[in-house]
Amino acid sequence: MMDKKIYVTCSTMPPYEEYIEMIRPLWDTHMLTNMGTYHNELENQLREYLGVHQFVLTVNGHMALEIALQAFDFPAGSEVITTPFTFISTTHAIIRNRLTPVFCDIKSADGTIDECKIEELITEKTVAIMPVHVYGNVCNVEEIQRIADRYGLKVIYDAAHTFGVKYRDIGIGNYGDVSIFSFHATKAFNTIEGGGISCSDCQFIEKVHNLRNFGIRGEELVVDIGMNAKMNEFAAVMGLCNLKHYESVLAERREKYEYYTGRLREVEGVRLLEGSREASRNYGYLPIVLEEGYGKTRDGLYDYLKENDIYSRKYFYPLTSDQECFKGSYRHVHLKCARELAESVLVLPFSAVIKKADMDLVVDLVEQFVAE
């Protein structure tokens, strides 16, 4: 056992004095929420940084997913083609909107939805495709859009892992009809808790504005049945501070990622899960896959690292489709690649502040485990 624990991630935080100085005026104004000054400033800065036409902040990424689906006003029981290889939030948002998830298999190379298997799942009830840019790996956005256009479907991207990522020099939030971001403390950019919605449709974004704040449009006017999904000022200040330093943090992540993966590439029996070279990276996650033929299991490696106080994560196991809450409703679905990847992938500890010695220790232990 080690003297310290190494966790899968470590939240990025700005200098303490900088954050305290920015929140100090709140003790004078007592304006802590309801789309305050800091909230509006962050919303504007993120719209510019992400290079999107419209952007709305939310209290978290999950509420952004729910609001986006609700704003489309799909008929109850409509089908949304999505991936099972994601955080449970994606699936919950579909079901909580009285829609039916239709699970599509994924590509083992990068974990994203297999666009070649989408069309066979389309029925007269299909209204949308909800892919996930998993681990920051960008989906095949061109082919997905081609399919959507052919069948008249909406495309809603779960871009929780792809803050700041560009594909072919275009911000990821510009693809599809809508993109959803998460600014949870574990993400490459965080507001402690937070999320956002980007799109180019002004009428749609107006609907999102309404739903985010109970449908309220005036002191005596409620125009929609909405919810409370507003970001507070303390979270907004954290976002403003973190955004100010984001490029330097990204540079640190890049340098450490390249060192880490450079060593991992030399470990026989280990494969990196990386996406398109036409997309930039935000270096938010470091997933590896244990290849077959070495007599080792992912669970064995997970336990071995944990015995040495290194806390990796089995993202994403089990598949959302196989979670207990669905009581076996989707276990019959053929998801061969997704289930195989879910049983072999492991996300290693990684952050902007991880030490070189800690990276070396993790790689050494992985190497020892595979070689034993």
pLDDT digits (tens, 9 = 90+) for 249-275: 999 999 999 999 999 999 999 999 999
CA distance 10 to 290: 24
3-class SS of residue 149 = helix
Query: Backbone phi, then psi, for 137, in 5-degree steps?
Result: -80, 125
Residue 158, C-beta contacts closer than 8 angstroms, at least 6 positions apart: 65, 86, 90, 130, 131, 132, 133, 180
Question: Given this model, what pLDDT does residue 1 score?
Answer: 56
Reported pTM: 0.97
* Domain identity same for 33 and 145: yes
Residue 49: domain span: 16-240
Among 240, 255, 288, give the residue marking a domain's end. 240
* Domain identity same for 207 and 66: yes
In this structure, is residue 8 part of a structural domain?
A: no
Domain total of the chain: 2
DSSP structure string for 79-139: EEEE-SSS-HHHHHHHHHTT-EEEE--B-TTT-SB-GGGTGGG--TTEEEEE-B-GGGPPP
* Domain identity same for 235 and 257: no
Dihedral-angle region of residue 261 (phi above 0 means left; psi in -120 to 50 means alpha; beta otherwise): alpha
Quote the mean pLDDT of the chain: 97
CB atoms within 10 A of CB 47: 18
pLDDT tens figures, 101-150: 999 999 999 999 999 999 999 999 999 999 999 999 999 999 999 999 99
Question: Given this model, what pLDDT does residue 102 score?
Answer: 98
CA distance 239 to 246: 10
pLDDT tier at 167, thresholds 50, 70, 90: very high
pLDDT tens figures, 20-75: 999 999 999 999 999 999 999 999 999 999 999 999 999 999 999 999 999 999 99
In this structure, is residue 3 part of a structural domain?
A: no
CA distance 211 to 49: 24
For residue 2, pLDDT over 70 is answered with no
Among 209, 225, 240, give the residue marking a domain's end. 240
Question: Given this model, what pLDDT does residue 45 score?
Answer: 98
Average pLDDT, integer, range 233-239: 98
For residue 3, pLDDT over 80 is answered with no
* Domain identity same for 306 and 355: yes
3-class SS of residue 267 = coil
Residue 340: CATH number of its domain: 3.90.1150.10
Given a contact cutoff of 8 angstroms between Cβ atoms, the answer to whether 43 and 49 are in contact is: no
pLDDT tier at 292, thresholds 50, 70, 90: confident
Joined together, the tokens standing for residue 97 give 């909107």
Among 189, 205, 240, give the residue marking a domain's end. 240
Question: Given this model, what pLDDT does residue 110 score?
Answer: 97
Question: Given this model, what pLDDT does residue 168 score?
Answer: 97
Average pLDDT, integer, range 331-358: 96
